A and B are shown apart, each in its own frame.
Chain A
Amino acid sequence: MSQVVSLRETYGRTLVELGRENPDIVVLDADLRRSTMTHYFVSEFPDRSFDCGIAEQNMVSIAAGLAASGKIPFASTFAVFIPGRCYDQIRMSIAQPGLNVKLVSTHGGITVGEDGTSHQSVEDLLMACSLPGFTVIVPADATETTQTLRVAAATPGPFYIRLNRPALPLVNDENYRFNLGKAVVLRHGTKATIIAIGVMVAAALEAADNLVREGIDCRVLNMSTLKPVDEPAIIQAAAETGAIVTAEEHLEHGGLGSIVARVLAGHHPVPAEFVAIKDTYARSGKSAELLERYGLSARDIEQAVRTAIKRKP
């Protein structure tokens, strides 16, 4: 596998660049600056940084007030706390008025690992996607992280961007250009399509490589913009490959799988399988152990592809 790079480190460094380019960018934290890596920004722009302490609800509403006054706030904490800990504040202070707040969460999913259930966010994407007007992005690697942050800073309106704790392998080359709302074809294939987000994109590529040896060539789509989702890419994949597998580090309910299923049901029903966490919370463990235990490995994707293909009429 290719080089492994931290998305959080990338977030921190990119924020500094954005801060230099645009004086309206401000940063809010909830006592986790060294974990979210916003401390680089804090060092360079102390007057534009606000540590709100361990008070996420307050942080989110302050961000709304800043945005209502022309600032571009980036507010960060762990994905388990934002949006979950401050959902109503996001709903009324940010989503309803459509304010220009960028919520960037780190430590998304179960790969946060040893800290266990209280720190593993498996519902954040369904909450973020439920908010009218929100754009929701799950970058798959550091290259994409930089670009999504730049797009978020330049695009008016509320964003939720979910990053992971562990460093992730690069799945995009240096010429990659992120287009908001456009899925990226990472592998061409004809027998099935794997649609993945975040940490699962690398697993999807691994699965696709393994399946080729069985004579199954899979298309792999990186659906980094979860909302608004790239409906044409899903419909085209269904029409051209006839079977869909989704893969996400999130509960099966309400995440990528649900969104893709809705598009398929409405436009082009084909057999679909969903690789996701099944209605449970995870426990402490190493990232790799947890991905294995909760059904999020490349092998799980491979099996789902075989099942989906078998179900083709």
Chain B
Amino acid sequence: MEAVAKRLRRHIVSMIGRAGSGHPGGSLSAVEIVSTLYFRVLRHNPSDPAWPERDRFILSKGHAAPLLYATLAECGYFPVEELSTLRQFGSRLQGHTDRTLTPGVEMSAGSLGQGLSFSLGVALAGRLNSRPYRVYVLMGDGECDEGQVWEAAMASAHFKADNLVAIVDRNELQIDGWTCDVMELEPFNEKWQAFGWHVIEVDGHDFAQLIDAFDHAGRVKGQPTVIIARTTKGKGVSFMENNPDFHGKAPSPEQVEIALKELE
């Protein structure tokens, strides 16, 4: 798993460097979360992305598209070589996710706060269709500033969507700075609890803790589960870690070189 994570980080840095724009910080922070899901948790079939029984992964923080693309490519949804087309005209890999273009992408995202609601709809459809799939949605912590997140949080508990698992990438940084300075989220776990969710807090870079948390979430009945994953924005690249400048800025060619060396 560590090797997979390193490959994904190398893809993310290279893709965004080549594209000249993109969001490295929030892609790097969620590498362990997303790779745990795709390589350990999800029942999915890269050769049949529309398989009705598949578990769904929905990326609500659509700016982490490079991470999702790298993961999907490593799983075999499309060729790894295609990653180099990120953000280019004519590419299937748009700046933010587009479900009409990219195999394996479940939702068109980029406008924050909509993914949890969308995922609840997918979860409710699963229940109506008597399909046993589970729905995993990854949100940013800054994204939780959006009021719709809390509308969806309330509704998910109300509809007892126990086939729904939300993961919050709690890297504590958003574009304008630390989340506590921009818009205080704490007491964060308690908020989710008060909204009727089962809350699990983990180190979002620790595979064992993540695997345990997903396993645990699968046994929770009658309520949705949220995994608050404590992470470091820009994780794995020294000069990007905890640096809000790299929320939405591409590394220069020299920085790419340094980063790839660190990720060898």
Contacts of A93 in B (CB 8 A): 107-108, 114, 117-118
Interface residues of A in 24-83 (CB under 8 A from B): 26, 47-48, 50, 52-53, 55, 57-58, 60-71, 73
Contacts of B148 in A (CB 8 A): 55, 57-58, 61, 89
Contacts of B126 in A (CB 8 A): 69
Contacts of B117 in A (CB 8 A): 57-58, 60-62, 64-65, 89, 93
Are B120 and A65 in contact (CB-based, < 8 A)? yes
Are B129 and A69 in contact (CB-based, < 8 A)? yes
Asked if A96 is an interface residue, CB under 8 A from chain B, the answer is: yes
Are A92 and B110 in contact (CB-based, < 8 A)? yes
Contacts of B120 in A (CB 8 A): 62, 65
Q: Kindly report which residue of chain B lies nearest to residue A57, judged by CB atoms.
A: B148
Contacts of A98 in B (CB 8 A): 100
Whole-angstrom distance between the alpha carbons of A88 and B147 in the complex? 13
Asked if A97 is an interface residue, CB under 8 A from chain B, the answer is: yes
Asked if B154 is an interface residue, CB under 8 A from chain A, the answer is: yes
Are B125 and A55 in contact (CB-based, < 8 A)? no
Whole-angstrom distance between the alpha carbons of A66 and B119 in the complex? 9
Asked if B106 is an interface residue, CB under 8 A from chain A, the answer is: yes
Are A68 and B106 in contact (CB-based, < 8 A)? yes
Are A53 and B125 in contact (CB-based, < 8 A)? no
Are A65 and B99 in contact (CB-based, < 8 A)? no
Are A58 and B152 in contact (CB-based, < 8 A)? yes
Whole-angstrom distance between the alpha carbons of A225 and B124 in the complex? 32
Query: A61 and B108 in contact (CB under 8 A), knowing A55-B151, A69-B126, A96-B100?
Result: no
Query: A61 and B109 in contact (CB under 8 A), knowing A55-B151, A69-B126, A89-B148?
Result: no
Are B121 and A62 in contact (CB-based, < 8 A)? yes
Are A92 and B124 in contact (CB-based, < 8 A)? no
Query: Per a CB cutoff under 8 Å, which of A47, A66, A92, A97 touches B125?
Result: A66
CB distance from A56 to the nearest CB of B (A): 9
Are B109 and A65 in contact (CB-based, < 8 A)? no
CB distance from A182 to the nearest CB of B (A): 28
CB distance from A84 to the nearest CB of B (A): 15
Q: Which of A61, A65, A98 has the most chain B CB within a 10 Å cutoff? A: A65
Counting chain B residues whose Cβ lies within 8 A of the other chain, the interface size class is 20 to 34
Are B155 and A92 in contact (CB-based, < 8 A)? no
CB distance from B66 to the nearest CB of A (A): 19
Whole-angstrom distance between the alpha carbons of A71 and B151 in the complex? 22
Interface residues of B in 149-173 (CB under 8 A from A): 151-152, 154-155, 158-159
Are B110 and A53 in contact (CB-based, < 8 A)? no
Contacts of A61 in B (CB 8 A): 114, 117-118, 121, 148, 152
Contacts of A53 in B (CB 8 A): 151, 154-155, 158
Contacts of B114 in A (CB 8 A): 57, 61, 89, 92-93
Whole-angstrom distance between the alpha carbons of A91 and B111 in the complex? 10
Asked if B206 is an interface residue, CB under 8 A from chain A, the answer is: no
Contacts of B52 in A (CB 8 A): 70
Whole-angstrom distance between the alpha carbons of A60 and B107 in the complex? 14
Q: Kindly report which residue of chain B lies nearest to residue A23, judged by CB atoms.
A: B128
Query: Per a CB cutoff under 8 Å, which of A48, A57, A88 touches B128?
Result: A48
Query: Per a CB cutoff under 8 Å, which of A48, A58, A68 touches B155?
Result: A58
Query: Per a CB cutoff under 8 Å, which of B111, B118, B147 touches A65?
Result: B118
CB distance from A136 to the nearest CB of B (A): 21
Interface residues of A in 212-246 (CB under 8 A from B): none
Query: Per a CB cutoff under 8 Å, which of A52, A55, A66 touches B122?
Result: A66
Are A70 and B129 in contact (CB-based, < 8 A)? yes
CB distance from A169 to the nearest CB of B (A): 38
Asked if B201 is an interface residue, CB under 8 A from chain A, the answer is: no
Query: Per a CB cutoff under 8 Å, which of B113, B122, B158 touches A68?
Result: B122
Asked if B145 is an interface residue, CB under 8 A from chain A, the answer is: no
Asked if B98 is an interface residue, CB under 8 A from chain A, the answer is: yes
Contacts of A91 in B (CB 8 A): 111
Contacts of A96 in B (CB 8 A): 98, 100, 108
CB distance from B151 to the nearest CB of A (A): 4
Are B118 and A88 in contact (CB-based, < 8 A)? no
Query: Per a CB cutoff under 8 Å, which of A26, A57, A64, A67 touches B151?
Result: A57
Are A71 and B154 in contact (CB-based, < 8 A)? no
Are A68 and B107 in contact (CB-based, < 8 A)? yes
Contacts of B109 in A (CB 8 A): 92
Whole-angstrom distance between the alpha carbons of A71 and B120 in the complex? 13
Contacts of B118 in A (CB 8 A): 61-62, 64-65, 68, 93
Closest 7 CB pairs of A and B: A65-B121, A61-B117, A69-B125, A58-B151, A55-B151, A62-B121, A65-B118
Between A and B, 22 residue pairs with Cβ closer than 8 Å are A48-B128, A50-B124, A52-B155, A55-B154, A58-B117, A58-B148, A58-B155, A61-B148, A62-B124, A63-B121, A65-B119, A66-B125, A68-B107, A68-B125, A69-B121, A73-B121, A91-B111, A93-B114, A93-B118, A96-B100, A96-B108, A98-B100
